[in-house]
Structure 1
Amino acid sequence: MNFTAPESLVFWTTLIFIVFFFLLKKFAWVPILAAVRGREESINKALLAAEEARQEIHNLQADNQRILQEARLERDAMIKEAREIKEKMIADAKAEAQAEGAKIIEQAKATINSEKNAAMAELKNQVSGLSLEIAEKILKSELSGKEAQSAMVEKMLDDVKLN
Protein backbone atom coordinates (compact mmCIF):
# COMPACT_ATOMS: atom_id res chain seq x y z
CA MET A 1 0.00 0.00 0.00
CA ASN A 2 1.67 2.87 -1.20
CA PHE A 3 -0.11 5.99 -0.20
CA THR A 4 0.45 9.33 -1.63
CA ALA A 5 0.10 12.43 0.42
CA PRO A 6 -3.46 13.30 -0.45
CA GLU A 7 -4.56 9.74 -0.16
CA SER A 8 -2.89 9.31 3.17
CA LEU A 9 -4.51 12.49 4.37
CA VAL A 10 -7.93 11.16 3.44
CA PHE A 11 -7.12 7.88 5.13
CA TRP A 12 -5.97 9.47 8.35
CA THR A 13 -8.83 11.96 8.35
CA THR A 14 -11.33 9.16 7.89
CA LEU A 15 -9.69 7.07 10.57
CA ILE A 16 -9.62 9.96 13.02
CA PHE A 17 -13.23 10.79 12.19
CA ILE A 18 -14.32 7.17 12.83
CA VAL A 19 -12.41 7.05 16.12
CA PHE A 20 -13.76 10.44 17.09
CA PHE A 21 -17.29 9.28 16.12
CA PHE A 22 -17.05 6.15 18.32
CA LEU A 23 -15.66 8.15 21.21
CA LEU A 24 -18.44 10.74 20.86
CA LYS A 25 -21.02 8.00 20.60
CA LYS A 26 -19.73 6.23 23.67
CA PHE A 27 -19.09 9.21 25.93
CA ALA A 28 -20.89 12.35 24.61
CA TRP A 29 -23.82 11.24 22.46
CA VAL A 30 -25.91 9.82 25.34
CA PRO A 31 -25.51 12.89 27.57
CA ILE A 32 -26.18 15.23 24.63
CA LEU A 33 -29.34 13.31 23.70
CA ALA A 34 -30.38 13.24 27.36
CA ALA A 35 -29.88 17.01 27.57
CA VAL A 36 -31.86 17.54 24.35
CA ARG A 37 -34.66 15.28 25.61
CA GLY A 38 -34.64 17.08 28.98
CA ARG A 39 -34.82 20.43 27.23
CA GLU A 40 -37.64 19.17 25.03
CA GLU A 41 -39.55 17.94 28.08
CA SER A 42 -39.05 21.24 29.92
CA ILE A 43 -40.27 23.14 26.84
CA ASN A 44 -43.33 20.86 26.61
CA LYS A 45 -44.01 21.36 30.33
CA ALA A 46 -43.67 25.12 29.94
CA LEU A 47 -46.07 25.07 26.97
CA LEU A 48 -48.54 22.97 28.96
CA ALA A 49 -48.25 25.32 31.95
CA ALA A 50 -48.76 28.33 29.65
CA GLU A 51 -51.87 26.69 28.18
CA GLU A 52 -53.21 25.95 31.67
CA ALA A 53 -52.48 29.53 32.74
CA ARG A 54 -54.26 30.86 29.63
CA GLN A 55 -57.27 28.65 30.40
CA GLU A 56 -57.24 29.80 34.05
CA ILE A 57 -57.14 33.45 32.94
CA HIS A 58 -60.03 32.80 30.57
CA ASN A 59 -62.02 31.18 33.42
CA LEU A 60 -61.22 34.10 35.76
CA GLN A 61 -62.33 36.60 33.13
CA ALA A 62 -65.59 34.70 32.68
CA ASP A 63 -66.08 34.65 36.47
CA ASN A 64 -65.33 38.36 36.66
CA GLN A 65 -67.86 39.09 33.92
CA ARG A 66 -70.49 36.98 35.70
CA ILE A 67 -69.82 38.66 39.05
CA LEU A 68 -69.91 42.09 37.41
CA GLN A 69 -73.23 41.28 35.72
CA GLU A 70 -74.69 40.05 39.03
CA ALA A 71 -73.50 43.23 40.75
CA ARG A 72 -75.12 45.37 38.04
CA LEU A 73 -78.39 43.47 38.37
CA GLU A 74 -78.31 43.83 42.16
CA ARG A 75 -77.52 47.56 41.84
CA ASP A 76 -80.43 48.02 39.41
CA ALA A 77 -82.76 46.16 41.77
CA MET A 78 -81.64 48.31 44.70
CA ILE A 79 -82.14 51.52 42.69
CA LYS A 80 -85.60 50.37 41.61
CA GLU A 81 -86.53 49.50 45.20
CA ALA A 82 -85.23 52.87 46.43
CA ARG A 83 -87.31 54.68 43.78
CA GLU A 84 -90.41 52.72 44.78
CA ILE A 85 -89.82 53.55 48.45
CA LYS A 86 -89.30 57.23 47.57
CA GLU A 87 -92.49 57.35 45.50
CA LYS A 88 -94.45 55.62 48.28
CA MET A 89 -93.08 58.05 50.87
CA ILE A 90 -94.02 61.02 48.66
CA ALA A 91 -97.51 59.61 48.06
CA ASP A 92 -97.97 58.95 51.79
CA ALA A 93 -96.78 62.45 52.66
CA LYS A 94 -99.14 63.99 50.09
CA ALA A 95 -102.09 61.95 51.38
CA GLU A 96 -101.25 62.86 54.97
CA ALA A 97 -100.88 66.54 54.05
CA GLN A 98 -104.21 66.51 52.20
CA ALA A 99 -105.94 64.81 55.14
CA GLU A 100 -104.39 67.30 57.57
CA GLY A 101 -105.38 70.19 55.28
CA ALA A 102 -108.96 68.92 55.04
CA LYS A 103 -109.07 68.54 58.82
CA ILE A 104 -107.79 72.10 59.34
CA ILE A 105 -110.31 73.43 56.79
CA GLU A 106 -113.16 71.63 58.56
CA GLN A 107 -112.02 72.99 61.92
CA ALA A 108 -111.80 76.49 60.43
CA LYS A 109 -115.31 76.16 58.94
CA ALA A 110 -116.67 74.96 62.28
CA THR A 111 -114.95 77.84 64.08
CA ILE A 112 -116.24 80.34 61.51
CA ASN A 113 -119.80 78.96 61.81
CA SER A 114 -119.74 79.05 65.61
CA GLU A 115 -118.34 82.59 65.62
CA LYS A 116 -120.89 83.60 62.96
CA ASN A 117 -123.71 82.16 65.06
CA ALA A 118 -122.37 83.91 68.15
CA ALA A 119 -122.12 87.19 66.21
CA MET A 120 -125.67 86.73 64.85
CA ALA A 121 -126.99 86.07 68.34
CA GLU A 122 -125.15 89.13 69.66
CA LEU A 123 -126.47 91.19 66.74
CA LYS A 124 -130.04 89.97 67.38
CA ASN A 125 -129.69 90.85 71.05
CA GLN A 126 -128.42 94.31 70.20
CA VAL A 127 -131.13 94.84 67.52
CA SER A 128 -133.85 93.70 69.89
CA GLY A 129 -132.46 95.93 72.65
CA LEU A 130 -132.29 98.87 70.27
CA SER A 131 -135.79 98.09 68.94
CA LEU A 132 -137.16 98.10 72.47
CA GLU A 133 -135.44 101.36 73.27
CA ILE A 134 -136.73 102.92 70.04
CA ALA A 135 -140.25 101.60 70.63
CA GLU A 136 -140.13 102.85 74.20
CA LYS A 137 -139.03 106.29 73.08
CA ILE A 138 -141.66 106.39 70.30
CA LEU A 139 -144.40 105.30 72.69
CA LYS A 140 -143.31 107.81 75.29
CA SER A 141 -143.37 110.58 72.74
CA GLU A 142 -146.72 109.51 71.20
CA LEU A 143 -148.40 108.76 74.47
CA SER A 144 -147.16 111.77 76.33
CA GLY A 145 -150.63 113.22 76.48
CA LYS A 146 -153.93 111.80 77.90
CA GLU A 147 -155.74 112.16 74.59
CA ALA A 148 -153.05 110.27 72.68
CA GLN A 149 -153.24 107.41 75.23
CA SER A 150 -157.02 107.16 74.88
CA ALA A 151 -156.83 107.15 71.07
CA MET A 152 -154.29 104.40 71.13
CA VAL A 153 -156.34 102.25 73.52
CA GLU A 154 -159.41 102.62 71.33
CA LYS A 155 -157.44 101.76 68.22
CA MET A 156 -156.09 98.61 69.88
CA LEU A 157 -159.54 97.60 70.98
CA ASP A 158 -160.84 98.06 67.43
CA ASP A 159 -158.01 95.85 66.10
CA VAL A 160 -158.82 93.17 68.68
CA LYS A 161 -162.54 93.15 67.75
CA LEU A 162 -161.71 92.76 64.07
CA ASN A 163 -159.55 89.73 64.54
Structure 2
Amino acid sequence: MSFDIGNPSYGLVFWTLIAFLLLLVLLRKFAWKPIIQALNERETSIENALASAEKAKEEMARLSNENEQLLKQARVERDTILKEAKELKDQIVTDAKVQAQTEGAKLIEQAKKEIDDQKKRAMAEVKNQVSSLAIDIARTVLQKEFEDNKKQEALVADLLKDVKLN
Protein backbone atom coordinates (compact mmCIF):
# COMPACT_ATOMS: atom_id res chain seq x y z
CA MET A 1 0.00 0.00 0.00
CA SER A 2 1.43 3.17 -1.09
CA PHE A 3 0.50 6.52 0.26
CA ASP A 4 0.11 9.36 -2.10
CA ILE A 5 -0.13 12.83 -0.56
CA GLY A 6 -1.68 14.38 -3.62
CA ASN A 7 -4.47 11.83 -3.80
CA PRO A 8 -5.85 11.14 -0.33
CA SER A 9 -7.97 8.12 0.28
CA TYR A 10 -11.29 9.15 1.80
CA GLY A 11 -11.67 5.94 3.72
CA LEU A 12 -8.30 6.45 5.41
CA VAL A 13 -9.16 10.02 6.28
CA PHE A 14 -12.52 8.94 7.68
CA TRP A 15 -11.07 6.22 9.89
CA THR A 16 -8.21 8.45 11.01
CA LEU A 17 -10.75 11.11 11.97
CA ILE A 18 -12.86 8.57 13.87
CA ALA A 19 -9.76 7.25 15.69
CA PHE A 20 -8.70 10.79 16.53
CA LEU A 21 -12.16 11.72 17.89
CA LEU A 22 -12.32 8.49 19.90
CA LEU A 23 -8.86 9.20 21.29
CA LEU A 24 -9.94 12.76 22.07
CA VAL A 25 -13.05 11.56 23.98
CA LEU A 26 -11.03 8.96 25.90
CA LEU A 27 -8.32 11.45 26.75
CA ARG A 28 -10.94 13.96 27.85
CA LYS A 29 -12.75 11.47 30.05
CA PHE A 30 -9.77 9.71 31.59
CA ALA A 31 -6.65 11.81 31.14
CA TRP A 32 -7.44 15.52 30.97
CA LYS A 33 -9.44 15.73 34.21
CA PRO A 34 -6.65 14.10 36.29
CA ILE A 35 -3.98 16.09 34.41
CA ILE A 36 -5.87 19.37 34.87
CA GLN A 37 -6.61 18.46 38.50
CA ALA A 38 -2.93 17.67 39.07
CA LEU A 39 -1.96 20.96 37.40
CA ASN A 40 -4.47 22.86 39.55
CA GLU A 41 -3.17 21.16 42.69
CA ARG A 42 0.39 21.94 41.67
CA GLU A 43 -0.57 25.57 40.98
CA THR A 44 -2.30 25.80 44.39
CA SER A 45 0.68 24.25 46.18
CA ILE A 46 3.06 26.66 44.39
CA GLU A 47 0.83 29.62 45.34
CA ASN A 48 0.71 28.36 48.96
CA ALA A 49 4.48 27.91 48.98
CA LEU A 50 4.95 31.42 47.59
CA ALA A 51 2.54 32.83 50.19
CA SER A 52 4.36 30.92 52.94
CA ALA A 53 7.68 32.18 51.64
CA GLU A 54 6.33 35.75 51.61
CA LYS A 55 5.00 35.32 55.17
CA ALA A 56 8.36 33.89 56.24
CA LYS A 57 10.12 36.80 54.57
CA GLU A 58 7.86 39.29 56.37
CA GLU A 59 8.36 37.42 59.65
CA MET A 60 12.12 37.48 59.15
CA ALA A 61 11.99 41.23 58.43
CA ARG A 62 9.86 41.77 61.55
CA LEU A 63 12.19 39.65 63.68
CA SER A 64 15.18 41.46 62.22
CA ASN A 65 13.61 44.81 63.11
CA GLU A 66 12.77 43.54 66.60
CA ASN A 67 16.34 42.31 67.01
CA GLU A 68 17.68 45.69 65.91
CA GLN A 69 15.33 47.45 68.34
CA LEU A 70 16.38 45.09 71.15
CA LEU A 71 20.04 45.68 70.32
CA LYS A 72 19.53 49.44 70.31
CA GLN A 73 17.66 49.24 73.60
CA ALA A 74 20.36 46.99 75.08
CA ARG A 75 23.04 49.45 73.96
CA VAL A 76 21.13 52.35 75.50
CA GLU A 77 20.67 50.40 78.75
CA ARG A 78 24.35 49.42 78.72
CA ASP A 79 25.37 53.04 78.20
CA THR A 80 23.03 54.16 80.98
CA ILE A 81 24.36 51.52 83.36
CA LEU A 82 27.96 52.43 82.51
CA LYS A 83 27.21 56.13 83.00
CA GLU A 84 25.52 55.46 86.35
CA ALA A 85 28.42 53.23 87.42
CA LYS A 86 30.93 55.93 86.47
CA GLU A 87 28.94 58.58 88.34
CA LEU A 88 28.70 56.28 91.36
CA LYS A 89 32.44 55.61 91.21
CA ASP A 90 33.18 59.33 90.95
CA GLN A 91 30.82 60.03 93.87
CA ILE A 92 32.45 57.33 96.00
CA VAL A 93 35.93 58.63 95.18
CA THR A 94 34.84 62.21 95.96
CA ASP A 95 33.20 61.13 99.22
CA ALA A 96 36.31 59.15 100.18
CA LYS A 97 38.53 62.17 99.45
CA VAL A 98 36.30 64.48 101.48
CA GLN A 99 36.17 61.99 104.33
CA ALA A 100 39.94 61.51 104.22
CA GLN A 101 40.46 65.28 104.26
CA THR A 102 38.03 65.66 107.17
CA GLU A 103 39.68 62.82 109.10
CA GLY A 104 43.11 64.28 108.32
CA ALA A 105 42.02 67.70 109.52
CA LYS A 106 40.61 66.16 112.72
CA LEU A 107 43.83 64.23 113.32
CA ILE A 108 45.93 67.36 112.70
CA GLU A 109 43.72 69.39 115.06
CA GLN A 110 43.90 66.65 117.69
CA ALA A 111 47.69 66.49 117.31
CA LYS A 112 47.93 70.29 117.67
CA LYS A 113 45.81 70.16 120.84
CA GLU A 114 47.92 67.34 122.21
CA ILE A 115 51.12 69.25 121.39
CA ASP A 116 49.70 72.38 123.07
CA ASP A 117 48.66 70.35 126.14
CA GLN A 118 52.09 68.73 126.37
CA LYS A 119 53.72 72.14 125.88
CA LYS A 120 51.58 73.63 128.68
CA ARG A 121 52.38 70.69 130.96
CA ALA A 122 56.05 70.99 130.14
CA MET A 123 55.95 74.76 130.83
CA ALA A 124 54.11 74.20 134.10
CA GLU A 125 56.66 71.57 135.09
CA VAL A 126 59.52 73.90 134.15
CA LYS A 127 57.87 76.71 136.16
CA ASN A 128 57.44 74.39 139.13
CA GLN A 129 61.06 73.29 138.90
CA VAL A 130 62.24 76.91 138.49
CA SER A 131 60.10 78.02 141.45
CA SER A 132 61.38 75.09 143.54
CA LEU A 133 64.93 75.98 142.57
CA ALA A 134 64.27 79.66 143.35
CA ILE A 135 62.80 78.78 146.75
CA ASP A 136 65.71 76.46 147.50
CA ILE A 137 68.16 79.16 146.43
CA ALA A 138 66.27 81.80 148.45
CA ARG A 139 66.18 79.51 151.50
CA THR A 140 69.88 78.84 151.20
CA VAL A 141 70.62 82.55 150.71
CA LEU A 142 68.35 83.54 153.61
CA GLN A 143 69.79 80.95 155.89
CA LYS A 144 73.27 82.29 155.24
CA GLU A 145 72.05 85.87 155.60
CA PHE A 146 70.17 85.29 158.82
CA GLU A 147 72.84 83.35 160.60
CA ASP A 148 73.87 86.63 162.05
CA ASN A 149 71.23 88.26 164.38
CA LYS A 150 72.37 91.80 163.59
CA LYS A 151 71.64 91.28 159.91
CA GLN A 152 68.17 89.97 160.79
CA GLU A 153 67.34 93.02 162.91
CA ALA A 154 68.59 95.39 160.22
CA LEU A 155 66.44 93.67 157.59
CA VAL A 156 63.32 93.83 159.80
CA ALA A 157 63.93 97.48 160.52
CA ASP A 158 64.40 98.18 156.82
CA LEU A 159 61.13 96.44 156.00
CA LEU A 160 59.27 98.31 158.72
CA LYS A 161 60.40 101.63 157.32
CA ASP A 162 58.73 100.80 154.00
CA VAL A 163 55.45 99.77 155.63
CA LYS A 164 53.00 102.61 156.20
CA LEU A 165 50.17 102.22 158.61
CA ASN A 166 46.84 103.91 157.85
Task: Establish whether residue 27 from structure 1 lines up as the match of residue 30 from structure 2.
Answer: yes
Partner letter of residue 115 of structure 2? Answer: I
Task: Establish whether residue 87 from structure 1 lines up as the match of residue 90 from structure 2.
Answer: yes
Per-residue deviation at 1:83?
1.4
- Which of 120, 136, 154 aligns to 2:123? It is 120
- 1:10–1:101 distance in 2 versus 1, CA, 3 Å: farther
Q: TM-score, normalised by structure 1?
A: 0.78
**CA distance in 2: counterparts of 1:53 and 1:110, whole angstroms:** 83
Once the two structures are superposed, the pairs formed by residues 1-163 of structure 1 within 5 Å of their partners are 4-6=1-3, 11=13, 12-141=15-144, 149=151, 153=155
Unaligned 5+ segments in structure 1 are none
What is the RMSD of the two structures over their aligned residues, measured on CA atoms? 3.1
The structure whose residues are more often helix, as a share, is 1
Deviations 1:106-136 (A, max 9, x none): 1221121112111101101101111222233
**CA distance in 1: counterparts of 2:132 and 2:144, whole angstroms:** 18
- 1:91–1:23 distance in 2 versus 1, CA, 3 Å: same
Count of residue pairs the alignment pairs up:
156
Secondary structure in 2 matching 1:27: helix
**CA distance in 1: counterparts of 2:31 and 2:61, whole angstroms:** 45
Unaligned 5+ segments in structure 2 are none
Per-residue deviation at 1:49?
1.0
- 1:10–1:124 distance in 2 versus 1, CA, 3 Å: farther
Higher alpha-carbon deviation: 66-75 or 26-35: 26-35
Identical-residue share of aligned pairs (%): 44
Secondary structure in 2 matching 1:78: helix
Deviations 1:82-114 (A, max 9, x none): 111121122112212211221122122112111
Partner letter of residue 137 of structure 1? Answer: T
Higher alpha-carbon deviation: 9-18 or 74-83: 9-18
**CA distance in 1: counterparts of 2:85 and 2:149, whole angstroms:** 96
Secondary structure in 1 matching 2:111: helix
